[in-house]
Amino acid sequence: MIEYYYEKEIRALNKNRIRYLVVGGMAVNLYGIHRLTKDMDLMIDLSRSHFEKFMKVIRALGYGTKAPEEKWGKLTAIAFSNRKDEDKRIDVFLKNPIDFTRAFNKRKIFRTDNFKISCVSLDDLVALKNKANRLRDWIDIGSLERMKKLKKKK
């Protein structure tokens, strides 16, 4: 599963007490809807001190971005690529589309054999997918809503 591909990164975020939420395709997978995704999308606490700590951790893991720092203020999100493994990419919101603190307080913790993953709640995931308003997101919403209905029937 994709979360194991990013185990080192998730462990580092947890160890350094980074307030993060997995969103996007990996979150869809964590909720049991299997679909192809290669990157890890994150919402993080964007307070200055916390963002600086996140940047220190991500750089120590070998990630960088081609986006010049002086343009970050105009961007909604930024992509960080791993210099040693170009297939590894972490996309981070620079402007969180929903309130981070409220979402963090409602988060779901997924436990694997060896580590924990902080994930956006199912309702917030659907809300994020609605805001993105892309075909892939509408397909994900349909799958997530069907899954919710099936779980209620049990």
Which domains are assigned to the chain?
Answer: 2-153 (3.30.460.40)
Residue 93's contacts (CB-CB under 8 Å, 6 or more residues apart) are 23, 41, 42, 43, 44, 46, 76, 77
Residue 136: its pLDDT value, please?
81
Residue 77: its pLDDT value, please?
95
Residue 117: its pLDDT value, please?
96
Which phi and psi angles does 79 have, rounded to 5°?
A: -100, 130
Distance between CA atoms of residues 59 and 77, nearest Å: 17
Taking the chain (154 residues) in runs of 10, the rounded mean pLDDT of each run is: 81 97 93 86 96 96 94 94 92 96 97 92 91 81 81 71
What letter would DSSP give residue 64?
E
Distance between CA atoms of residues 117 and 30, nearest Å: 9
Residue 140: its pLDDT value, please?
80
Residue 148: its pLDDT value, please?
77
- Give me the residues paired with residue 108 across strands: 119
Residue 35: its pLDDT value, please?
82
Residue 5: its pLDDT value, please?
86
